[in-house]
Structure 1
Amino acid sequence: MMAEYTAFDTRYGLTLSAGDLDGDWRDELIVGMGPDPKNSGILKVLKYRGDGFTELMSQTLYSDRTYGINTTTGDIDGDGLPEIITTPGPGPNSPATVTVWKYTTDGLTEHFTFTAFDGMYGANVATGDIDGDGLAEIITGSGPDPKNTALVRVYKPDGTLVNEFTPYPAKHNYGTTVSAGDLDSDGVSEIVTGLGPGPQNEPLVKIFESDGTETGSLTAYPGKMGYGVNVSIGRTGSQ
């Protein structure tokens, strides 16, 4: 273990993403409060300096009890630095709004906000350049409302909807988790989904092109496991 840091004195863990926010070629960690029903949407940015973590900023982005906050990063405006993208956590009163934030040493400033889905329980969010134009699109998955079918919506960097598709049959509720990355080295990102946390939802992962064409799937864990699966994409080696 390289280092350990307690970000919050709360329950239900935390949400985590990373990105080089300040252009020093080292990723910062973006941590948000986990989905405790008592948690608001507090976000912190941490810098690893070799001997431990330093907290660069802490900001309350959602003041109500939103069951925490979901985060990701992506270069939305093409300036070479990633923005921070957030949604409220999976609370029954959390709207499915997506907000893009610009990071500065003084804190976060709101760039723009749009509504990804009708209803509550927040949304899952990822970014990826799915059309090869050098800008990250915003990929959203429906939140874990017990009544929500799995729905993916893809938005341009200005919040304009460009595509939507249903990755799983309607019998699967509790929404869908999402990630994105260039899995086949063709220069554009694929969209990866996982079933939401329904008690009967298997850990089924699917891969899609940007137009919703399925290109692969796998069951992440053996046996009769429920409650879906979270997905994330990243390099694990030198390639």
Structure 2
Amino acid sequence: GIDEIITGAGFTGGPHIRIFDNTGKVQGQFFAYDQNFRGGINVAVGDINRRAGKKKDEIITTPGKGGGPHVRIFDNTGKVQGQFFAYDQNFRGGINVAVGDVDNDGLVEIITGAGPGGTPHARVFEVNGMLIGSFYGYEEEFRGGIRVGTVRL
């Protein structure tokens, strides 16, 4: 099928995920966390489950500043497929998220970066939440957090 566009509200917005086609028509929407949360939401998309016959990728979300380190995985209808905490549950700087096959096993991993107030700590997880890698992208004393992404070279 054709790719769809996934959006998540920025800071001061709620955790509202919207799915659009290429003309801007809403194809679906849901709240990834408590709809009263106003720290915004970060999103990534990838083929997490690799089920035979499945045509849609999963939507991975993390809360923005003020939210805890709660990673959630959804199908395109907003049904939770998995969830875990990427950092100490008391951290409220929000977290950034990306997906990619970073260990070359043919399966997608979830990569997180601590948000503002956190160290530049990047972590790599299997989709079940098992931590498989961790590093600091900059000096550990830096408290501006870190953004993460992946690229195939």
Whole-Å separation in 2 of the counterparts to 1:185 and 1:128: 15
- Counterpart position of 1:205: 122
Tell me, yes or no, if structure 1 residue 233 matches structure 2 residue 142.
no
Whole-Å separation in 1 of the counterparts to 2:139 and 2:59: 31
- Counterpart position of 1:123: 41
* TM-score (normalised: structure 2): 0.91
Whole-Å separation in 2 of the counterparts to 1:187 and 1:111: 29
Amino acid at match of 2:68: T
Amino acid at match of 1:90: F
Is the Cα contact below 8 Å between 1:132 and 1:187 reproduced in 2?
Answer: no
Instruction: Please state whether the residue corresponding to 2:72 is helix, strand or coil.
Output: strand
* TM-score (normalised: structure 1): 0.59
- Counterpart position of 2:64: 143
Tell me, yes or no, if structure 1 residue 178 matches structure 2 residue 94.
no
Whole-Å separation in 1 of the counterparts to 2:68 and 2:100: 24
Instruction: Please state whether the residue corresponding to 2:44 is helix, strand or coil.
Output: strand
Q: Which has the higher contact order (CA 8 A, sep 6+)?
A: 2
Amino acid at match of 2:31: T
Is the Cα contact below 8 Å between 2:29 and 2:77 reproduced in 1?
Answer: no
- Note the 1:65-144 alignment, pairs <5 A: 79=1, 81-91=2-12, 94-103=13-22, 107-118=23-34, 119-133=37-51, 135-144=56-65
Is the Cα contact below 8 Å between 1:143 and 1:175 reproduced in 2?
Answer: yes
- Counterpart position of 2:137: 220
Whole-Å separation in 2 of the counterparts to 1:82 and 1:188: 20
Length, aligned pairs only:
148
Tell me, yes or no, if structure 1 residue 167 matches structure 2 residue 86.
yes
Q: Post-superposition, which runs of at least 4 consecutive aligned residues in structure 1 deviate over 4 A?
A: none
Larger mean Cα displacement after TM superposition, 221-230 or 202-211: 221-230
Is the Cα contact below 8 Å between 2:114 and 2:145 reproduced in 1?
Answer: yes
Amino acid at match of 2:11: P
Instruction: Please state whether the residue corresponding to 2:48 is helix, strand or coil.
Output: coil
Whole-Å separation in 1 of the counterparts to 2:63 and 2:9: 12
Structure 1 alignment gaps of length 5 or more: 1-78
Alpha carbon RMSD of aligned pairs, Å? 1.3
Whole-Å separation in 2 of the counterparts to 1:194 and 1:212: 14
User: Against the structure 1 CA distance between its residues 169 and 129, is the aligned structure 2 distance closer, same or farther, given a 3 Å change threshold?
Assistant: same
Amino acid at match of 2:26: E
Instruction: Please state whether the residue corresponding to 1:225 is helix, strand or coil.
Output: coil
Is the Cα contact below 8 Å between 1:151 and 1:164 reproduced in 2?
Answer: yes
Cα distance, 1:223 vs structure 2: 4.7
Q: Identity, % of aligned pairs?
A: 33
Structure index of larger Rg? 1
Structure 2 alignment gaps of length 5 or more: none
